Chain A
Amino acid sequence: MTRLSTAPPPTQPDVQGQTRRGFFKALEIDLRVFGMVVALVLIFVGFGLATDGRFLRPVNLVNLAVQSVSVAIIATGMTMVIVARQIDLSVGSIVGVVGMTYAYLMARVLPDAIGFGSPWIWVIALAAGLTLGSLIGALQGFIVAYVGVPSFVVTLGGLLIFRGATWMVTRGVTISPVDPTFQLLGGGPRGSIGGTASWVVGGLACLAIVALLASGRRQRLRFGFPLRPMWAEALVGTVSSLAVLGIVWLFYSYKWPPALAERYAAETGITIPPEGLAAGIPWPVVLLLAVTLVMSFVATRRRFGRYVFAIGGNPEASELAGINTKWTVMKTFILIGLLCAVSAAVATARLDGSTLDLGEGYELYVIAASVIGGTSFSGGIGTIPGAVLGALVMSSLAYGLSFMGLSSPIQDIFAGIVLIIAVAFDTINRRRKT
């Protein structure tokens, strides 16, 4: 505070638009992420109007969310990779080979080895897949960081190698089924956490928001930094909590289909309430939320994340600052390999098995999601929530267009146009700022 009284007043920026900017400045929200949320809402409203509201039924929105999970999970890792001025084209093939590993272990190997129906089957399979994904990432990352082969080349090779390996191991056949517990990761009414648990998750999220705001305020008080006005704190807290509760309400409105619900009620001995049995938040969405939180934490609160951004901003300066840049780059590849394995688990669970083409084309959707979410190809710029929102935008478009009966080629055309518009918008916006 003394700083403010002794220092000359900062020069005023241009007067036009100042109050609006002042409003957002006081709120201290990330304008680009906010813009993405607005875009997403516009897409929902647009499709809602075009389909007389049918698009906005809970079951559709929930399906759409579940469909975006596989791409969104990898997009969080791709953001880190691109921020570090690298690229990973092999993600789809890693999903393929790890997905096949899950299915092969659960359908062919483990039931014979440790007994059919053992609760360890999915644990062992999952551990093996996550390890495999990380190892593939480590190998590619090592070649990129320590041998110095451009990541475009290494991962293009990886794309071919791991798809080929998947084919060779399975000889092209589909492998099914996966373990019933593992299947929960695929979503659907059975793979959802239920109505009560959903409200608990929502309540916890609201508490977390309040705790986060309070701890931020405490940090600033600790050093006497200017505080965010109380009205802004209250507004941010209220709006985010309402948004969280609204989303939970959406998932709560997602009910079991009556026939399935009756069978499930008979199995478990529960009674179905008159308004229908709420399925709640699907497990894959819970997983995506967890991944988003952890990755955001890693990207913004951990040294590793800071170093990834520093390397993207200025690799030489990072080296001179004593950062182990090679190891940091290798770690981003380990991370994305691990996330590919997580994503493969969701994809395999949804399919109840693995096919040869599992994950094919993911690299393009993942990169597009990350870039739509504001990640810059010149490195150093990108956010995790942006990447997840980017994936949601893409899957909303795809889902909405197919809902309107438009064919897959038209969906691709739209996705391409949106990608270019999003980046053009971003480029212009950034140019105006500097």
Chain B
Amino acid sequence: MPEGVPLVELRNINVSFGGVHAVKDVTIDLYPGEIVGLVGGNGAGKSTLIKTLSGAQKPDSGDIYIDGELATIHGPMDAKQLGIETIYQTLALAENIDTPGNVFLGRELLTPVRTLDDSAMEDATRKVMKRLNPRFLNFKVPVQSLSGGQRQSVAIAKAVQFNARILIMDEPTAALGPAETDVVRDLVRQLKAEGIGIFLISHDIHDVFDLADRISVMLQGDLVGTVKKDDVTMDQVLAMIIIGKKPDEVTDTELEQLHGG
């Protein structure tokens, strides 16, 4: 476990939708420059849990601490002001608006007379894109005419433009081809090296093993456990995901059955 005060702590988070207890008393944390993979099957509650941090979902109970201090997050803007940026699985782009417009959506740069400063926004977007995806050139067209990888770049630019300290990436490579996936993986490592803490939500266990320092596994709303990647095998993590047993609880027969079934 890394030393010092965690960048983020989600403590005893509960979320229910009607009768469904989607997140049950989950506690996880994240340190600067660390990548925590959050894995689990469909409906495990990982997206819902992380939405409480990004401000898109209010928890029924539980607390969020940033730098050890209790934070109040009532909406996406509160989260952003705390330096929490989210890249959604759906990318959350306004298809009819160009790239700078999307990058700055909700946080537009204004001229002294309070009109949109499109040139300044384009300039800043060009700068951040140079870092993320130097081949990106279509700044003036609506994002709907961009390719999947380019759209992913826009979504990432939207998050890193504002000096995020905490980055939430929900299935960042799900819609991408192999080459584009590699670009995103390199980017994640680069952001980690800059000291950003990253929650990586993914179906893809290879993604997670490749990138994460620690792995938190959820099953049906419960946190099965959090393990250091270097201490476990992929099979042990699979056992956590599928049957909900930690590496020290699971038997060899059960591990074999994972492959048999």
**Which residues of A are at the interface with B, using a C-beta cutoff of 8 A?**
3, 6-8, 10, 219-220, 222-223, 225, 297, 300-303, 306, 309-310, 312-314, 316-323, 380-381, 434
With A317-B92, A320-B92 already in contact, the answer to whether A219 and B97 are too (CB < 8 A) is no
- Find out whether the CB atom of B75 lies under 8 angstroms from the CB atom of A309: no
Chain A nearest CB, measured from B119 CB (Å) = 4
A132 vs B137: C-alpha distance when bound (angstroms): 49
- Find out whether the CB atom of B110 lies under 8 angstroms from the CB atom of A380: no
With A313-B95, A313-B96 already in contact, the answer to whether A321 and B76 are too (CB < 8 A) is yes
- Find out whether the CB atom of B92 lies under 8 angstroms from the CB atom of A302: no
Is B145 located at the chain interface by the 8 A CB criterion?
yes
A322 vs B81: C-alpha distance when bound (angstroms): 11
- Find out whether the CB atom of B123 lies under 8 angstroms from the CB atom of A320: no
Is B18 located at the chain interface by the 8 A CB criterion?
no
- Find out whether the CB atom of A313 lies under 8 angstroms from the CB atom of B145: no
Q: Which of B110, B114, B137 counts the most chain A CB atoms within 10 A?
A: B137
Pick the residue among A225, A302, A309, A313 that contacts B115 (CB under 8 A).
A302
Query: 4 nearest interchain CB pairs?
Result: A321-B106, A313-B94, A313-B96, A322-B77
Chain B nearest CB, measured from A405 CB (Å) = 44
Is B122 located at the chain interface by the 8 A CB criterion?
yes
CB neighbours of A306 from chain B (8 A): 97, 101, 105, 108, 116
- Find out whether the CB atom of A310 lies under 8 angstroms from the CB atom of B105: yes
Using CB atoms, name the residue of chain B closest to A223.
B123
Is B93 located at the chain interface by the 8 A CB criterion?
yes
Chain B nearest CB, measured from A380 CB (Å) = 4
- Find out whether the CB atom of A380 lies under 8 angstroms from the CB atom of B95: yes
Chain B nearest CB, measured from A216 CB (Å) = 9
CB neighbours of A6 from chain B (8 A): 134
CB neighbours of B126 from chain A (8 A): 3
- Find out whether the CB atom of A314 lies under 8 angstroms from the CB atom of B95: yes
- Find out whether the CB atom of B106 lies under 8 angstroms from the CB atom of A381: no
Is B258 located at the chain interface by the 8 A CB criterion?
no
Q: Which of B54, B97, B130 counts the most chain A CB atoms within 10 A?
A: B97
Tell me the number of A-to-B contacts counted with CB atoms below 8 Å: 88
A316 vs B75: C-alpha distance when bound (angstroms): 13
Pick the residue among B101, B107, B119 that contacts A220 (CB under 8 A).
B119
Given contacts A10-B137, A303-B116, 7 further A-B contacts (CB under 8 A): A8-B135, A302-B115, A313-B95, A314-B95, A318-B94, A320-B88, A323-B106
CB neighbours of B120 from chain A (8 A): 223
Pick the residue among B97, B116, B134 that contacts A7 (CB under 8 A).
B134
Chain B nearest CB, measured from A417 CB (Å) = 29
A-B contact pairs, 20 of them (CB 8 A): A3-B126, A6-B134, A7-B137, A223-B122, A225-B122, A302-B114, A303-B116, A310-B97, A310-B105, A314-B94, A316-B92, A317-B92, A318-B105, A320-B54, A320-B88, A320-B92, A321-B106, A321-B107, A322-B75, A381-B96
Dominant secondary structure at the B interface: loop
CB neighbours of B107 from chain A (8 A): 321-322
A297 vs B95: C-alpha distance when bound (angstroms): 22
- Find out whether the CB atom of B108 lies under 8 angstroms from the CB atom of A314: no
- Find out whether the CB atom of B76 lies under 8 angstroms from the CB atom of A312: no
- Find out whether the CB atom of A219 lies under 8 angstroms from the CB atom of B119: yes
- Find out whether the CB atom of B94 lies under 8 angstroms from the CB atom of A310: yes
Is B90 located at the chain interface by the 8 A CB criterion?
yes
CB neighbours of B134 from chain A (8 A): 6-7
CB neighbours of B105 from chain A (8 A): 306, 310, 317-318, 321, 323
CB neighbours of B77 from chain A (8 A): 322
Is B86 located at the chain interface by the 8 A CB criterion?
yes
**When each residue 108-136 of chain B gets 1 if its CB lies under 8 Å from chain A and 0 otherwise, what string results?**
10100011101110110010001000110
A6 vs B120: C-alpha distance when bound (angstroms): 21
Using CB atoms, name the residue of chain A closest to B144.
A434
Using CB atoms, name the residue of chain B closest to A301.
B115
- Find out whether the CB atom of B145 lies under 8 angstroms from the CB atom of A309: no
CB neighbours of B56 from chain A (8 A): 320
Using CB atoms, name the residue of chain B closest to A311.
B94
Chain B nearest CB, measured from A85 CB (Å) = 11
Pick the residue among A300, A302, A316 that contacts B90 (CB under 8 A).
A316
CB neighbours of B122 from chain A (8 A): 223, 225
CB neighbours of B101 from chain A (8 A): 306, 310
A225 vs B125: C-alpha distance when bound (angstroms): 13
- Find out whether the CB atom of A320 lies under 8 angstroms from the CB atom of B110: no
With A223-B123, A323-B105 already in contact, the answer to whether A302 and B116 are too (CB < 8 A) is yes
- Find out whether the CB atom of A309 lies under 8 angstroms from the CB atom of B76: no
A323 vs B104: C-alpha distance when bound (angstroms): 11
A219 vs B115: C-alpha distance when bound (angstroms): 13
Chain B nearest CB, measured from A21 CB (Å) = 14
Pick the residue among B76, B116, B135 that contacts A322 (CB under 8 A).
B76
Is B80 located at the chain interface by the 8 A CB criterion?
yes
Within 8 A of A (CB), among B51-72: 54, 56
A225 vs B140: C-alpha distance when bound (angstroms): 12
- Find out whether the CB atom of B94 lies under 8 angstroms from the CB atom of A309: yes
Within 8 A of A (CB), among B195-244: none
Using CB atoms, name the residue of chain A closest to B108.
A303
A233 vs B22: C-alpha distance when bound (angstroms): 59
- Find out whether the CB atom of A313 lies under 8 angstroms from the CB atom of B97: yes
CB neighbours of A223 from chain B (8 A): 119-120, 122-123
- Find out whether the CB atom of B106 lies under 8 angstroms from the CB atom of A434: no
Using CB atoms, name the residue of chain A closest to B115.
A301
